[in-house]
Structure 1
Amino acid sequence: MKKLGIVVTDPTDWTADALIQEARKRDFETFCPDLGKMETSIQKNIEHMTSEINLLELDAIIIRDIGPVKNDSHVYRFNVLQQLEESGVTIINSPAAIQNAANKFNASCLISKAGIPTPETFVTQETEKAMKITETLEDVVIKPVFGYKGIGIKRIKKNEVIGPDGIPEKTTAYDFVCGHIEEKGMVYIQEFIENPGRDIRAFVVDGKVIGAIYRNAPEGWWLNNLSQGGTPQECRLTEEQENMCIGAAGAIGAVFAGVDIIESKEGCFVLEVNATPSGAGIYKSLNINVAEYIIDSIENRL
């Protein structure tokens, strides 16, 4: 019996549960290692242990959620995953793909190099230069380079800071940008793409789009994430949109990915690629179980 680890911090997460159930149907012996409890011993042999198992004994690992990390723990967890991969453990998505997607700056570079349309993006470490960019573009989005679920995203329109709900905030654009740079050391700025009040999340597995949904923003909002109150709706992609999503996932190096694209009068743009995506929205909207496709991918690699 093949041993499969599903890395997750919350086993009640819909996607994690779907993966566990599907793996058991396929007769995998399943484990849910928590990397936050991982320990390594380096003696004559190297062992990477969780409370359940020596991770080197696994045949494959699916990474759903590495968990909150900070300081050296972030490097440690990814180093272990890289060593497991080098030792022959099949890992999807690979540590490299997850790092590529998690770093929005790096992802933007990779997507652009692949020739895929992405919003104009600027990064600077200086407040004055950041302000000049926001004033020139007039309408921009400020994102944490490492962020998820739309948390911490702000919009600056004509020198006014606007929250995800569309309500202007009291802080000035200068103070916000200055504080952001003081905290993060840099600022990642994207042009705001005028859109129909929605974006598209496509789920890609092994170079194919298995389903896509619109994420409709709540009334008055400009942020569309389902975790921020957006509502899912079935979406039928054009051939061009499908190719964009497949190309973006490939540029990141992801076996499976959630690719976010935005529509505008000027065409479509890839916003982000998520290499640890939830499959809940696709399932609830389309009755497509992404776990079936991901486990297929694992079986094909073993």
Structure 2
Amino acid sequence: MTDLKIGVIGIPGKWSTEVLADALEKETGFRCVIDMADTALDLKNRSLMASDTDLSKLDGLVIKKISQQYSPATLDRLEMLRVAEAAGVKIFSSTRSILGLVNRLSCTVTLSNAGIPMPATCVTESVDQALAAVQRFGGAVFKPLFSTKARGMTLMDADEGETALRQKIEAFKAGNPVMYLQKKVNLSGRDLGMVFLGGKYLGTYARVAQTDSWNTTILHGGKYEPFAPDADLIELARRAQAPFDLDFTTVDIGLTDNGPIIFEVSAFGGFKGALEGASIDAATLYATHVIEKVRA
């Protein structure tokens, strides 16, 4: 046991949040799970309170989940945590790193600027431009800028006809003024999650569709399976996550007929896929990493 006080930002009662809190408690004897919805920032007193606990007085905070669903308000929660960070609390991953990932467009631009292969992508506020992109791509997945696990994504095919497509695009735009769409690629019902801790590769799992759904997420019926990547694929994933300087992450990769492509780098990474698909006890490994960094 140590005298370190390291809290977990997450969703109380959720498996990934609780298993990380368990791992930290086992090593430190201290347990604190924080839902950002219950915090209050007092800038005059430079405090960030969660019930009776001032988060700015802790030794460390691990952000496992900043909110149940991503939205612009997620950015506000990260800004609040910057106050604790400025007070000397070590945060994993840093707010700067996560701020560059929560917005899908920010992540995409960073990956593109680093020369990482991605699906053909169009970002526009114009219905006409979006329609032209779908017709050019043959089919596209429209994605909200703030979402996880494929929530809110809409598949549109060029063969639906211009009138029907325009109506679907207008409906999507009603809730997403800036439209982000990527060319639909053939993944043969499988994509990969490649796990990194402190920039070091840990292992890979596959998400495999079990239905006729166009995506492989567990939310849509997919399941985890082991996968053994070659050295080139590991190096591609390493390059993809490197610009973000994350303590723990999962790189989402698709294998296409034209080679591998990167879909995104996760702001928080997935524990369950690592455990069930790759037999990696990510929570324990992450807790050890955090404790070593806080002590340093």
TM-score normalised by structure 2 residue count: 0.92
Which AA in structure 1 matches 2:21? I
Residue in structure 2 matched with residue 283 of structure 1 by the alignment: 275
Number of positions where the alignment pairs a residue of Structure 1 with one of Structure 2: 291
Query: What CA distance in whole angstroms lies between the structure 1 residues aligned with 2:19 and 2:144?
Result: 30
Residue by residue over 1:177-204, the C-alpha shift from the partner in whole angstroms, topping out at 9 and shown as x without a partner, is: 1122232212101111212210001111
Residue in structure 2 matched with residue 274 of structure 1 by the alignment: 266
Return the match for 1:181 from 156, 167, 173.
173
Residue by residue over 1:203-229, the C-alpha shift from the partner in whole angstroms, topping out at 9 and shown as x without a partner, is: 111112212111111232220011221
Query: What CA distance in whole angstroms lies between the structure 1 residues aligned with 2:98 and 2:131?
Result: 31
**3-state SS of 2:241 partner:** helix
Residue in structure 1 matched with residue 19 of structure 2 by the alignment: 18
Residue in structure 1 matched with residue 132 of structure 2 by the alignment: 132
Judge conservation of contact 1:202–1:245 (CA < 8 Å) in 2. yes
Query: Which aligned pairs between 1:162-177 and structure 2 lie closer than 5 A?
Result: 172-177=164-169
Residue in structure 2 matched with residue 211 of structure 1 by the alignment: 203
Query: What CA distance in whole angstroms lies between the structure 1 residues aligned with 2:34 and 2:199?
Result: 28
Residue by residue over 1:97-124, the C-alpha shift from the partner in whole angstroms, topping out at 9 and shown as x without a partner, is: 2222221111111111122111111100
Return the match for 1:263 from 237, 255, 280.
255
Query: What CA distance in whole angstroms lies between the structure 2 residues aligned with 1:273 and 1:52?
Result: 35
What value does the CA root-mean-square deviation take over the aligned residues? 2.0
Query: What CA distance in whole angstroms lies between the structure 1 residues aligned with 2:102 and 2:85?
Result: 19
Which AA in structure 1 matches 2:10? V
Residue by residue over 1:116-152, the C-alpha shift from the partner in whole angstroms, topping out at 9 and shown as x without a partner, is: 1111111000101110111111121111111111111
Query: What CA distance in whole angstroms lies between the structure 2 residues aligned with 1:71 and 1:138?
Result: 29
**3-state SS of 1:26 partner:** helix
**3-state SS of 1:115 partner:** coil
Query: What CA distance in whole angstroms lies between the structure 1 residues aligned with 2:206 and 2:86?
Result: 38
Judge conservation of contact 2:48–2:80 (CA < 8 Å) in 1. yes
Judge conservation of contact 1:159–1:172 (CA < 8 Å) in 2. no
Identity among equivalent positions (%) equals 23
Judge conservation of contact 1:111–1:252 (CA < 8 Å) in 2. no
Query: Which aligned pairs between 1:13-162 and structure 2 lie closer than 5 A?
Result: 13-43=14-44, 45-68=45-68, 73-160=73-160
Query: What CA distance in whole angstroms lies between the structure 1 residues aligned with 2:127 and 2:34?
Result: 42
Query: What CA distance in whole angstroms lies between the structure 1 residues aligned with 2:257 and 2:287?
Result: 38
Distance 1:76 1:286, change over 3 A: closer
**3-state SS of 1:220 partner:** coil
Query: What CA distance in whole angstroms lies between the structure 1 residues aligned with 2:214 and 2:174?
Result: 26
Residue by residue over 1:35-59, the C-alpha shift from the partner in whole angstroms, topping out at 9 and shown as x without a partner, is: 111112344x321111140011111
Residue by residue over 1:48-78, the C-alpha shift from the partner in whole angstroms, topping out at 9 and shown as x without a partner, is: 1111400111111101111257988545422
Residue by residue over 1:81-107, the C-alpha shift from the partner in whole angstroms, topping out at 9 and shown as x without a partner, is: 112112211111122222222211111
Query: What CA distance in whole angstroms lies between the structure 1 residues aligned with 2:192 and 2:256?
Result: 12
Query: What CA distance in whole angstroms lies between the structure 2 residues aligned with 1:288 and 1:276?
Result: 16
**3-state SS of 1:29 partner:** coil
State whether structure 2 residue 294 is matched by structure 1 residue 293.
no
Segment drifting more, 246-255 vs 185-194:
246-255
Query: What CA distance in whole angstroms lies between the structure 2 residues aligned with 1:283 and 1:276?
Result: 15
- Contiguous gaps of at least 5 residues in structure 2: none
- Flag as ranges the 4+ runs of structure 1 deviating above 6 A: 69-72
**3-state SS of 1:81 partner:** helix
**3-state SS of 1:30 partner:** coil
Query: What CA distance in whole angstroms lies between the structure 2 residues aligned with 1:216 and 1:204?
Result: 21
State whether structure 2 residue 186 is matched by structure 1 residue 194.
yes
Query: What CA distance in whole angstroms lies between the structure 2 residues aligned with 1:4 and 1:111?
Result: 31
Residue in structure 2 matched with residue 6 of structure 1 by the alignment: 8
Which AA in structure 2 matches 1:189? L
**3-state SS of 1:21 partner:** helix
**3-state SS of 1:181 partner:** helix
Query: What CA distance in whole angstroms lies between the structure 2 residues aligned with 1:104 and 1:296?
Result: 30
**3-state SS of 1:6 partner:** strand
**3-state SS of 1:233 partner:** strand
